[in-house]
Amino acid sequence: MGWTMPVASLFAQTPGLTPEEIEDGWISLFDGETLFGWNQVTKTDWKVVDGTIQATDGEIGLLCTTTQFADYILRADFLAEENTNSGIFLRTSPRPKSPSYDCYELNIAPPSNSFPTGSFVAREKVTPDCQPGEWHTFEVRVQGPVLEVKLDGEVVSTLEDKDYLGKGFIGLQHNEGKIQFRNISLKPLGLKSIFNGKDLTGWKQYPEMVTKFDVTEEGAIHAQDGPGQLETEGLYANFVLQMNAKTNAENLNSGLFFRSIPGDKMMGYESQIHNGIEGDDPTKPVDSGTGAIFRRTVARKVVSKDNQWLTKTLIAEGAHISVWVNGFQVTDWTDQRKPDANPRKGLRLEAGSIILQGHDPTTDVLFRNFQIQELPERWPVKRSE
């Protein structure tokens, strides 16, 4: 995303990411300790061992992210034994039918395989050198119809698919032999700004409400006093949103509402901003915690601090909502309520506005760098004849 943010010690708790990468919009898909944010599809012995995700035995199948992604750079380290057959599936369903049309299978396999490591199974064969029993790194740029693969920093494969899949899950495969993964991280691509950093063009103000919103010389939206709200003119349903926020005092309360009923008073899902914790335990947030979906699910850990800029990544796709704060996933929630036009009452899938909240008279919060990408459908509208 390219903004400047003071480096703080809180970044150290996001595995596999540097402070500079977090500033640039990277998120971690694996916390180094648990399978939070992952869904085991088959009966395979996926487990976390010494900071790695590994599998050695069980059914052939995938360990999938619970979140779908469209355009991104994915980076992952892997270690495969000599006869291991594994892979990383991109834009996949949990149970893909064929790597030739409903997913992209980036293979991890020995040279004797029809598609050795770095190849896209059933699509493109390459034969780079990749020694077994050693750690290697894939970096894959998945953007529109083009997928570019780097193995240990060198481009080994470039695939263009005119019938490309719009979005899908990321899957780690167990096929045969022991496989290990670590440092799995992702940077969303294709986000566009919805705040120009100069004025509130594109945002609707409510002068009758108490909160005052203005733009600082440094290019941030400043919310003071409350209650009140500032609302986007644009409406969004399924999207990736990245932004920064900073509370200017201890234990302040604010939030980011989305899929809101346009023109109504904060009638949307609320992604909470509250950095308070009980005692010194970040796993016990006050008032749900930053990154929580307020009144729906609690953040599993508070990783942001008052008086410091935080980065929030919010992905809303259908009934599923996931949130990262400073690159660390704090929320993984599916709305299983009955449909309702008001997301305070039930599941809302319809597009809605994004609202910044002025919570109360103590409100003193800064917001900046709003970037958003609307997620495409799973199958693109335009396909070749």
pLDDT digits (tens, 9 = 90+) for 133-160: 999 999 999 999 999 999 999 999 999 9
Return d(Cα 121, Cα 364) in angstroms, integer: 53
Residue that finishes a domain, picked among 135, 156, 188:
188
- What pLDDT sits at residue 335? 98
Same domain, 250 and 132: no
Question: Which residue, 161, 188, 215, sits at the end of a domain?
Answer: 188
61 in the same domain as 180: yes
Q: What does the angle CA 340 – CA 255 – CA 361 come to, to the nearest 5 degrees?
A: 120
9 domain residue, yes or no: no
pLDDT of residue 6: 39
Q: Are 233 and 314 in a shared domain?
A: yes
Q: How far is CA 283 from CA 286, 298, 370, in A?
A: 10, 10, 27
Q: Are residues 88 and 228 in the same domain?
A: no
pLDDT < 70 regions, the chain: 1-13, 380-385
Predicted TM-score (pTM) above 0.85: yes
Query: What mean pLDDT value characterizes the chain?
Result: 94
- Are both 224 and 83 inside the same structural domain? no
Confidence at residue 12, expressed as pLDDT on a 0 to 100 scale: 44
In a domain, residue 8? The reply is no
**pLDDT tens digits, residue range 54-70?**
999 999 999 999 999 99
Domain assignment of residue 200, yes or no = yes
Pick from 157, 223, 193: nearest CA to 356: 223
38 occurs within a structural domain: yes
- Residue 94 domain-assigned (yes or no): yes
Are 78 and 108 in contact, with CB atoms under 8 Å apart?
yes
Residue 383 falls inside a structural domain: no
Asked if the structure places residue 51 within a domain, the reply is yes
Residues whose CB is less than 8 angstroms from the CB of residue 260 and which lie 6 or more positions away in sequence, other chains included: 231, 266, 267, 268, 269, 343, 352, 353, 354, 355
Owner of token pair 């779908």: 68
**Domain membership flag for residue 380:** no
Query: 299 and 277: one domain?
Result: yes
Condensed to tens digits (0 to 9), the pLDDT of residues 202-260 reads: 999 999 999 999 999 999 999 999 999 999 999 999 999 999 999 999 999 999 999 99
User: Based on the domain organization, do 55 and 202 belong to the same domain?
Assistant: no
Same domain, yes or no, for 62 and 157? yes
Q: What is the pLDDT of residue 7?
A: 38
Which residues sit opposite 38 in a β-bridge?
65
Write down the pLDDT at residue 380: 57
What's the CATH number where 333 sits? Answer: 2.60.120.560
Q: What is the pLDDT of residue 11?
A: 40
User: Range of 358's domain?
Assistant: 194-374
**Last residue in a domain, options 159, 188, 217:** 188
Check residue 13 and give its pLDDT. Answer: 62
Q: Is the dihedral of CA 42, 317, 223, 200 positive or negative?
A: positive
Number of domains present in the structure of the chain: 2
How far is residue 45's CA from residue 42's CA, in Å, rounded to a whole number? 9
